[in-house]
Structure 1
Amino acid sequence: MSSSSKLDVSRRSFVQLSALSTGAFFINTKYTKLLLGDAPASPATTPFIQALTFPPVKQPLPAGMMLDPLPIPEAHQRYEEFVPTKYYELTAREVLKRPHPQLGLSRMSTYDGLSPGPLFVQKCYDPIMVRIKNELPHEIQGFGSPEIITHLHNGNSAPESDGVPWELYGPGYFKDHHYPNWPSNGNINECKGTLWYHDHCLDFTAQNTYRGLAGFYILFDEVDSGNETDPNPAALRLPSGLGVYDIPLSFSDRRFNQNGVLTFDPMDLDGYLGDKYLVNGLVQPYFNVTRRKYRFRLLDGGPSRFYDFWFSNRMEFQYIASDGNLLAHPITVNHLTAGIGERHDIVVDFSLLPESTTEIYLVNRMEHATGRGPKEGTLPMNQSPRMLKINILPGAVPDPSRVPQDLRVVEDIPLANAVRKEWKWTRTNGMWSVNGRLFDEHRSDATVVQGQTQIWTFSTPGGWAHPIHFHVEEGRLLRYNGVNVQPNSILGGRKDVFSLYGGDEMTVALRYRDWIGTYVMHCHNGVHEDHAMMIKFDVVAPS
C-alpha cells in the first residue's frame, strides 16, 4: 500500500494543547524534576567486553528485478534525468535487542532488524530508489510512534523524497524515496561522503531514533574513491575498506531501567540524556587496530548530547571532512566538538605511537549534565567518560593509504544580491520556538528563490544550546560571534549543522539550487525539534 493520508487533527496541535492544559508540571522542567526526582541510574555494566561491530552493507534488488508495485516516475522531480540504476527495499520492524550482555532485552524500532540500520554504500552520480516499508506494530509499548518518515540527512533530494516530518505513514504502508546521489548543481567539488538516515516523524523524531531508527549512508566518487590503492591520479587514496580501515562510528547515549530495559522520559522537554554511551549500538565496545592509518567517521547520533572527542593520550589526528564534505586541506587537531547530527571525518595514524602504548580510549570531555546544553570548559581527562577502547596490536604493517595536503576545492558562495534573514532560537511559553513562533506544518515561514544566495543569521540567548540543521544544501559559516571565519578552519568548510551554544550568533551563507518545494530547518536536539523548534520554508523557481 502507498503512503497513508494525513490525520485530520494535527498531532502538533495535540502536543501544544497538552502542554498548555497540564500547566507548570509539564512546561516547567525544573519543577517537573522536583516532583518526579532524578531518573534512577542504569544498571552497572562491565565496559569493553564486546567487540565493536558494523552493520552489513545494504544490497539492492537483484538485476532485472523491480519493486512491486512499480514506482511512479511522475511523483518525483527530474526523474527522467536521474533514472535509478538500483532499487532497494528497506523495512522498519520491531525486534528485541540487547546492547550489552548484562542488560535486558529491549523492544527496538529498527531498519531491517538492525540498529544501526544497514550501511548504504553508494557512488556520487548513481541514482537509486529506496522503498521504505513500515512493518512496525500498530501499538508501540513504552515510548515512540508506529508512524515513520525517513530523512536522508544531507542527501541532495527533492522534497518528496526528503522525509519532511508531516509526511509520516503508519504500519502496512510504504514510501518510495528517490535518491539521485547528485552533487548540488552537478558540481563534483560538492560530492558528499558521510551521510546518515534516520526517522523524522513529526513530534516523535527523538523517541523513534532513540528506539533505533538510524543508519549510515556513505558516498564515494573519483576523488574520495574508497580505495587506498586507486591508480587514478585524481584519487586521494585515504584509508579504505569500510569496517576495516574506514570506520563509521555512531555515538549515542541511552538510559535503562532496573531490569536493564531501554527507557525514555517524554516529559523532559529540556533534552534527554542517557548514562550509558553506545558506539554503533553497543555499550562501550572495544576495537582492535594495527599500527597504520585509519579513517574514523564520527557521528553524534543524539538525541540531545554534545561531544568533545579526544583520545585519552591526547594524540593529534588529521581532520579531513565536516558534515560529509571534504575540507580543502587537512587540519591537525587533538580534539573536535560535535552537536547532534554533526559528522567529523578524521585520520588517525596509530603507527606514530610508541610500542609500549597498547591501548587508548576515545573519550568525551564535554561537561553536559542537563538537556539545556553543555557547560563551558573541559572535563579533566580522568573524569571524562570512556566510550570506545582501542587496542593497538603489536608489529609494523604495510600502509598504502595517504592524506594529501590538497583534498577538494571548497568554492565560495557568491554573496552579491543575497537575501538576509534572522532566525532567533528561543523559548516561548515553555515551548521551543523560532522567532517566537511554534512550528506549524500548515504555515510557511520563508520563501527562498531557487539559486539566490541566502545569508541567515542564527542566534540564541544564554543558557541553551541548539545544533541548527537545514535540509538538503550545505552552508558556509561567514561570521561567528562577530568574527570572520577563515575558509580552511575547523568551522570553515561546507556544513549542514551549525551548533549554537548559549549566547552565540552565527551568520551562514547558503543556496538552494536543484529542487523546488518545501523543506524544513530545525534544532537537531531531537527533543527541542519535537516540541516545535522548527520552521518550514518554500523554495520557488525564479520569476
Structure 2
Amino acid sequence: MKKNGKQSTRARSQDTPEGPDRRSFLKLSAAAMASPLLLGASDSEGPVWITTPQPVFPPSPPTRPWMEELPREIVPIPQEPALTPPAEAAPKFDDKEAGREPHQRFDEIVTALGGPTLYELTAKEIPWSFHPDLPIHPDLPRQTVWTYVHKHGDPTVPETRQDPAPTFPSTIVARYGKPVVCRFHNELPKNHQGFGSPEISTHLHNLHMSSGCDGYPSDYYREGKAGPTLKDIGPNGGKGTFKDHFYPNVYAGYDDWRAKYGVGIGDPNEALGTLWFHDHTEDFTAPNVYRGLAGFYLLFDPIDSGDEADPSSTALRLPSGPYDYPLAFGDKRFDPQGYLFWDEFHVEGVLGDKVTVNGKIEPVLPVDARKYRLRLLNTGPSRFYEFYLVDGRDREQTFTYIANDGNLLPAPLFNQRKVRIAVAERADIVVDFSRYPIGTALYLVNRLRQDSTRKPKDVKKPGTRVLKFVVDRPPPQQDLSQVPNALRELPPLPKAEELATLKVRRWEFDRKGGLWTVNGRLFDRHNPRARIDKGAMEIWELVGKSGGWSHPIHLHLEEGRILSKSVDGVTVPIPPHERGRKDVFELDQTMTIKVLVRFRDFTGKYVMHCHNVIHEDHAMMVRWDVEDKNDA
C-alpha cells in the first residue's frame, strides 16, 4: 500500500484513458475476481458466475464529531469581467486550448440574449483537511484532494483580491436568459500519486445544452493528451489545458416555444434549479469525483428568483442569499493511517464508512433562527441516504420538501420527516429554525443502512448523525421568505392515445460475467446504441434485470417524467416527490420504470448510465445520438 502523505490505494493507476489497456484490464479484473466455477444460469439469463464476496476493507479511524464549523454562508465563484479571447461558435484555437466542437447555436442565442458571462475554474490538487487539522493528535492527517477552484485562488489560500474567497465546494450562480461560458482549466499533476487519472471532461448535470459542452466521457483532456473523441479536433490534436463550455441557460423546448410565440427562451415550467458539475472522464469518473472534482451550479429565473424580497407577483420568495445553502454529501473511506483510500480496479468498488458534508466529516453549521432552503446533493460514489432531522433526543422534526433533482415540485410537501436520495439525486427542503430557542442543536441523521456498494439494506433507528445545526442567533434582518402553496406547474403530459403511438425503447441494466452491462453490452464510445430524431418524444423502459443491485439511472440532455413503476410485473405507486420532472431514476433490483422523454433543441452524442459511478466506470453506460433530419 502506497503511503505518500497524501492518499493510499491498493492499485495505483498506471493505465490512463489514452489506450485500450484500461478497458481490457477492467474486463480481465472482473473475470479474475469472479470464480471460474459456472452453474447453469446467469445473473439473468445464461451462465452464472459465482463471484467472490464483497471486498472487506479496514474501517476508517475514529473521528471526534462536531469539531469544525462550516461557513455561515456559501460564497459563489465571481464572474470574470469579459470574455478574452471570445468563445465564439467556431473556435480559434491557441496552443493551450483543448479540442472542441463549434458551439451549437452560439451566435443565434447570444444575438438574442446578449453576450455570455465568463466563469473560469481550474481543476487542481490542493491541500485539504477532512477533519480539523489539529496540531496535536489529529484524527486524520492533512492530505490532498482534487477539486475545481476559482482561477484566482482556492478555498485553502487567502484571497489577495477584495472580494470574499469562494467557499468549498465551488458554486456558480446563474440565471435563465443569461448565457454563460465556463472555461475549465486542467492543472492536475500529470505524474500524480495514488488513484484517479489527471484528465477531465466536465459534465454539468443536467443542463439542457449541446453535445460538445456536455462532458462526454471520452472528450477528456489535459496537457499533451486528448480523448479519442477529441483527438482530431483543433490544430494541436485536441491536446490542450482548457476547454470552453457554452451553457445557453434556455429552457428545454426553446424551439417549440419560439415557434409558437415568436419570443422568449422556452417554457418556464421546464426550469431547473439545483444543478451540479463533476468530472466524467471515461473509466475514472468514480475516483476523480471521489477525490473532489464536483461543484454546484444554481440556476434562477423570474419564478425562482433567488430574492426573497422580490416584489414581483410571480416570484416565489423562497429563502435566499445566505439562507439558500447547498450541501454535498459523499461517502469516503480512510486507511488505518487516515489517508483517503480507494480500490481502483475492484468491480465492487469501495463503500465509504465516513460521510463528508461539503468536504468535512461531522461538521457544525451555525444557523439563524429563521427559514433556510437546504439543497441536498448525493455526490456518491455508492451510498444512498435517507435523512431525518432530529433533536438531541432523536425526536423527528418536520420540514417542507420543495424540489427533487433540481426541479421545483408543483406544490410543496409539507410536514415531511424524511428525504431519500440516491447517488446524484438532489432534494431541496425548507427548514424553519425560528421554531427553536437560541442554543438549540439539531442533527441530520442517515438511517438508511448499507453494507455493500450493491444496494441499500434497510432503515433503522437511531442512524448516523452526519451534520449538526446550532441555532445560535436571531436573524440580523426580518425573514421575508415564504413557502407558497403552489410552486411551479408541470408541462402537460400527452393524452393516452398519443402515448400509445410513441416509440418504446427497452434498456436492461444487468450484470453478466462479473461486468455491468446495458442490454448485455459494455459502453462503446464510438457507436450509438440509438439514433433519435431531434424533437422526438419516446418512452424509455428502464429495467432492473437482476435482483441484487440498485441502479440510479441518469439520462443526459433532457428531464423525464415517470409514467409508471412496477416490480416483477406488479404496478407500484410513484412516490409524491418523484411525480415531477427528473433526471435520476432509482431502479431498485427487479423494478421497471417507464419514462417519457423528449429530445429537443440540440444534437450530437449523449449518454445514459448508472450513477453508482463504480458501475459507470465498469461500462454500465450507453451512447445515444440526437440527429436532425434537416442536416442530412
Cα separation, partners in 2 of 1:232 and 1:68, compared to 1, 3 Å: closer
| 1:458 counterpart (532, 542, 548) | 542
Q: Aligned in 2, Cα 1:173/1:508: closer, same or farther, shift over 3 Å?
A: same
Structure 1 residue 480 corresponds to structure 2 residue 501: no
Give matches, 1:279-290, under 5 Å. 279-290=357-368
The letter for the 1-side match of 2:426 is R
- Cα distance, 1:99 vs structure 2: 1.1
Q: 2:245 aligns with which of 168, 172, 177?
A: 177
Match of 1:98 among 102, 125, 129: 129
Matches within 5 A, 1:384-399: 384-393=463-472, 398-399=478-479
Shift of 1:146: 0.8
Q: In structure 1, what is the equivalent of residue 323 of structure 2?
A: 245
Contact 1:205 1:530 in 2 (8 A): yes
Q: State the shift of 1:342 in Å.
A: 0.3
Q: Does 1:81 align with 2:100?
A: no
Aligned pair in 2 of structure 1 residues 343, 455: CA closer, same or farther (>3 Å)? Answer: same
- 2:220 and 2:397 map into 1 onto residues whose CA distance is 45
Distance 1:52 1:473 in 2: 34
* Aligned equivalent of 1:147, options 192, 199, 215: 199
Contact 2:274/2:297 (8 A) holds in 1: yes
1:217–1:280 CA distance, 2 compared to 1 (3 A): same
Partner of 1:110: 147
Q: Are 1:314 and 2:368 counterparts? A: no
Report the alpha carbon displacement of residue 10 of structure 1 after superposing the two structures with TM.
6.7
For 2:62, give the aligned amino acid.
Answer: A
Q: 1:117 to 1:360 in 2, by over 3 A?
A: closer
Deviations for 1:36-77, whole angstroms, at most 9, x for unmatched residues? x621121221111111236531122224x5138977357111
By how many angstroms is 1:21 displaced? 6.1
Q: Deviations over 1:238-287 (max 9, x none)?
A: 0111xx21110001111112222111112332242111111011111111
Residue of structure 2 in register with 1:3 after alignment: none
* In 1: Cα distance, 2:86 partner to 2:628 partner: 34
Give the match for residue 48 of structure 1.
66
Distance 1:261 1:297 in 2: 28
How much does 1:17 deviate? 4.2
C-alpha distance in structure 2 between counterparts of 1:455 and 1:45, whole Å:
48
2:22, 2:243 → 1: CA distance? 20
Relative to structure 1, the CA distance from residue 528 to residue 437 in structure 2 (aligned partners, 3 Å threshold; closer, same or farther) is: same
Match of 2:280 among 185, 192, 200: 200
Report deviation, 1:394. Answer: 5.9
Alignment partner of 1:405 out of 482, 485, 494: 485
Per-residue CA distance 1:89-122 (angstroms, 9 max, x = gap): 2111111211112311222111124594421000
Evaluate the alpha carbon distance shift between residue 539 and residue 70 of structure 1 in structure 2; reply closer, same or farther with a 3 A threshold: closer
Aligned mate of 2:351, from 273, 286, 292? 273
Q: Distance in 2 between matches of 1:194 and 1:285?
A: 22
Alignment of 1:57 with 2:76, yes or no, is yes
Larger radius of gyration: 2
Partner in structure 2 of residue 340 of structure 1: 423
Which amino acid counterpart does residue 578 of structure 2 have in structure 1?
L
Matched ranges for 1:391-470 at <5 A: 391-393=470-472, 398-414=478-494, 415-416=498-499, 417-460=501-544, 461-470=546-555
Q: Which amino acid aligns with 2:313?
A: P
Structure 1 position 12 matched with structure 2 position 43: no
Change (3 A) 1:22 1:338: closer
**CA-CA distance at 1:409 after TM superposition:** 1.1
C-alpha change, 1:225 and 1:170, in structure 2 (3 Å) is same
Counterpart CA distance in 2 for 1:230 and 1:155 is 25
From 226, 232, 237, the counterpart of 2:306: 226
8 Å Cα contact 2:530/2:624 also seen in 1:
yes
2 CA distance for matches of 1:284 and 1:528?
28
Q: Which string of whole-angstrom CA distances, capped at 9 and with x for unpartnered residues, describes residues 340-381 of structure 1?
A: 00000111112234x398111001111111111101x31112
SS in 2 for 1:365: strand
Aligned mates of 1:435, 1:363 — CA distance in 2 = 37
SS of the equivalent of 2:109 reads coil
CA distance in 1, matches of 2:469, 2:208: 35
The 1:340/1:404 distance shift into structure 2, 3 A limit, reads: same
**CA distance 1:390–1:540, change in 2 (3 Å):** same
Number of the residue aligned with 1:258: 336
Secondary structure, counterpart of 1:374 in structure 2: coil
Q: 2:407 touches 2:582 (CA, 8 Å); kept in 1?
A: yes
Supply the distance in 2 between the matched residues of 1:391 and 1:140 (Cα, whole angstroms): 39
Counterpart code for 1:31: T
Match 2:460 to one of 342, 354, 379: 379
Q: Secondary structure at the match of 1:120?
A: strand
**Residue of 33, 54, 66 corresponding to 2:84:** 66
Letter aligned with residue 149 of structure 1: S
Q: Which amino acid aligns with 1:131?
A: R
> In the alignment, is the contact (CA less than 8 A) between 1:445 and 1:535 conserved in 2?
yes
What is the deviation of 1:526?
0.7
Deviation at 1:88, TM superposition (A): 2.2
Structure 1 residues 286-313: Cα deviation after superposition (integer angstroms, max 9, x where no partner): 1122222110100011011000011123
Secondary structure of the residue aligned to 2:52 is helix
Deviations 1:321-349 (CA, angstroms, capped at 9, x unpaired): 11111111101221111110000011111
**Aligned partners of 2:439, 2:147: CA distance in 1, in Å?**
38
Q: Deviations over 1:128-184 (max 9, x none)?
A: 111111111112211000111100001111000000101111235221111101110
What is the number of equivalent residue pairs in this alignment?
526
Mark the runs of 5 or more structure 2 residues left unpaired by the alignment: 1-16, 37-47, 92-100, 133-137, 156-166, 224-239, 254-265
Q: Sequence identity, in percent?
A: 44
AA partner of residue 300 (structure 1): N
The structure-2 alpha-carbon separation of the partners of 1:168 and 1:399, relative to structure 1 and needing over 3 Å to count, comes to same
Output the CA distance in 1 between the equivalents of 2:87 and 2:563.
47
2:615 aligns with one of 528, 533, 536? 528
Contact 1:485 1:491 in 2 (8 A): no
- Distance in 2 (CA, whole Å) between partners of 1:524 and 1:466 is 7
Structure 1 residue runs without a partner (length 5+): 1-5
> Within 1, Cα distance between the matches of 2:221 and 2:31?
27
TM (norm. structure 2) is 0.79
Shift of 1:515: 0.5
SS in 1 for 2:276: strand
